[in-house]
Chains A and B, each alone.
Chain A
């Protein structure tokens, strides 16, 4: 009896080492005994200390993180995706698992029985060699060009270390150009020009007292100081931020960001009281290619496969984690992550257009709705998007629509592959309800705004929170202007929005206790999105619309603007702006910790301080809801 499934699995395996070395029959025999395993996101496949399984694993679909337990904290040391092997070494070494594995996303694994694989491997010199090499170098695929066995994308050269780029030592320039504090500015400038450097370290007995960069010279000219006689000590920045030579790239980047500087001085013991041994510039870090946003940006723009983009996404998540741990201000984080997400979406659309048989038949706009549209998306959540295409002649309409639906199908699929799951209510451009011509959209929105049900009415509100990710801005502006006109002075619309805003009171009970979910899988936790983030977002949108402010979609920026517009409520609005950032940070941290979308917060895991912080946010939310109740005369909700 033939086994079609085994043949199919053999077909998959033959593309990856060491299975590519096996003969067809051998591979088929092996594949006939494979176990196909489905793993949900966040489940572990084996834990450290667990006894060895009868199988080792190959990732067929999805991604698996390999973690190393270090003093109770897990460090990701490897990520496996399609075709990667894990959990083999302990089976050969006959020891328990030392590492932990965790499904980063929903995954399908092939369990390969060791009993069958081992004799094949031991009698096959090439397979043996492959395994020996990969165990020795501790990477998965010794033949790969450096993009395997490490978390780096293919843009980084293999360095043979297991470390993340972020954690590698920063590239220090040893030859430091130094001057004494008494050196005149002109002399210093000449020295910089002749040595072709952008900075000088000012030293006394080789101890750094200040640093002079191009910027200082610009300030000097701007301040109109005379140039010759002034010593360099007048314009230098001091004290100098110093580190010792082990500084990692991420430490350096974060330090620079925190202090708003581009140079860090390297001294013998890392304090400004010892000799200068080197200098570290932001420019050099950038050149050394790593998880720096601008490098990631370049990598995104140059990427040529969805898998590559997926790996870059993983790096973006690491970057995000680093930023959060170092308490970089959230607006800054949001902006950086938004830009990277945006570039990713753009790149995917760009590539999908190339894959289409013909260029787009007319102008169109790809809209990102929801959190990405509000520039508040830090974790990967479900995708929400839509297409507007310019009107075409009636006889071409069907073909044009078919073109954009086909394009959207490709884009949605690739977004899903890199981790933006399909929207559960199908708000996606590949759904023909969300892919329409401009006049169709105008009609649709008019119908929503004037229709009886408030649910439809709410649908139109998403068009106040969109961001155009790709295409022609004029197309999307035409629609938002139209909606604006429709909703202007439209009491029904604003009161329905207000009503919806008040639908979710903050999760604090009468005695200022947290209100938690009583049943279901999220028992004893509260839904931070539904109970706090969404109502605050709704409130911000409603209030900013009532002031007829356009094209401002970020919630905290909306509240900042409101604080300017209504000085009498300034305090409250600023508190809301702060709350929206705090809640988002909270959710993001939770999501990174729990490896999910961070929606459900377990009450038991909150520290006292966190509870206080959350309650402060809820208080602001409650106050702004009270204000809305009065201003928009909403009675229904008590």
Chain B
């Protein structure tokens, strides 16, 4: 009677329900107890609608540690192909990396991230890319909290009128500032790893005493 205006919930597939169920749990109170997933996507271009994800790389961080055995590295089958993008990340259409379909890759990705806090450099782009892919599968958007290392890095700099607060820092600039090796730059997993090390160093500056609450970090 009363749910005239209630939209009928579409019946989502099992894997999405399992992913959603994870969000019943509360996130830990402290940054030092939180699981973060640092990710990066390589794409055919910058148009959320037209362009496609070529590969997703992600690593998991917990209490300043990263297990190499728990990295996420998948290449996606392409029906679209943008020769321009090849110059940057050299994933050739013909290259025979083991490719998953977009759907299989995203299923694996959702299973991997659970309710972790997602971290990426200029995160908006990667998250939008993934949300567009979810939309094609008729699924809602990602439910995770998201942090952007580009934004957080600026927070570590001193407030000084000599610093341009609006400046957008590229991953290369941040890697240079923190003296991080940029091997495997421009592969999704390589960039995710560089971003992860940068994120750890940023946390080292923001959360010196390991007492920072996750809420504070998300609100910065």
A interface list, Cβ under 8 A from B: 1-6, 8-9, 11, 31-40, 61, 106, 108, 111, 413, 416-417, 422, 424-427, 433, 453, 455, 521
Complex alpha-carbon distance, A33 and B67, angstroms: 7
Most chain A CB within 10 A, of B68, B190, B197, B201, is at: B68
The contact of B158 among A5, A424, A433, by CB within 8 Å, is: A424
**Cβ–Cβ < 8 Å partners of B179 in chain A:** 61, 413, 416-417
How big is the B interface, by class?
Answer: 20 to 34
- List of 10 A-B pairs having minimum Cβ-Cβ separation, nearest first: A38-B200, A36-B66, A425-B160, A424-B158, A38-B64, A34-B68, A40-B204, A4-B189, A37-B65, A425-B158
- The distance from the CB of B177 to the nearest CB of chain A, in whole angstroms, is 6
Find the residue from A35, A36, A111, A417 having the highest chain B CB count within 10 A. Answer: A36
B193 interface contact, C-beta 8 A: yes
Interface of A is mostly: mixed
Give the A-binding residues of B (Cβ under 8 A). 57, 59, 64-69, 71, 73-74, 97-98, 157-158, 160-163, 176-177, 179, 183-184, 187, 189-190, 193, 197, 200-201, 204, 208-209
CA distance A521 to B208 in the complex (A): 8
Nearest chain A residue, comparing its CB with the CB of B74: A1
Could you say which of A4, A35, A40, A455 contacts B67, with CB atoms under 8 Å apart?
A35
Q: How far is the CA of A146 from the CA of B204 in the complex (A)?
A: 35
B178 to chain A minimum Cβ distance, whole angstroms, is: 9
Q: Are A32 and B64 in contact (CB under 8 A)?
A: no
Select B197's contact among A35, A108, A413, beta carbons within 8 Å.
A108
Contact (A5, B183) CB under 8 Å given A106-B204, A108-B197? no
Do B209 and A521 touch across chains, with their CB atoms under 8 A apart? yes
How far is A35 from B187 in the complex, measured between Cα atoms in Å? Answer: 21
Contact flag A40-B208 (CB < 8 Å), given A3-B73, A422-B177:
yes
Contacts A1-B98, A521-B208; A32 near B68 (Cβ below 8 A): yes
Q: Is the CB of B184 within 8 A of A8?
A: yes
A35 and B71 in contact (CB under 8 A), knowing A8-B183, A40-B204? no
Q: How far is the CA of A461 from the CA of B74 in the complex (A)?
A: 55
Q: Of A38, A111, A417, A425, which is within 8 A of B204 by CB? A: A38
A residues in contact with B200, CB < 8 Å: 38
Max chain A C-beta neighbours (<10 A), residue from B59, B64, B161: B64
* Pairwise interchain contact A3-B64, C-beta atoms closer than 8 A: no
Q: Within 8 Å CB of A417, what residues of B?
A: 179
Measured between beta carbons, the chain A residues less than 8 angstroms from B97 are 2
Tell me the complex Cα distance, A66–B87, Å: 47
Task: Tell me the complex Cα distance, A416–B201, Å.
Answer: 15
Cross-chain contact A35 with B66 (CB below 8 angstroms): yes
Query: What are 8 A-B contacts defined by CB distance under 8 Å?
Result: A1-B74, A5-B73, A8-B184, A33-B67, A35-B66, A35-B68, A108-B197, A416-B179
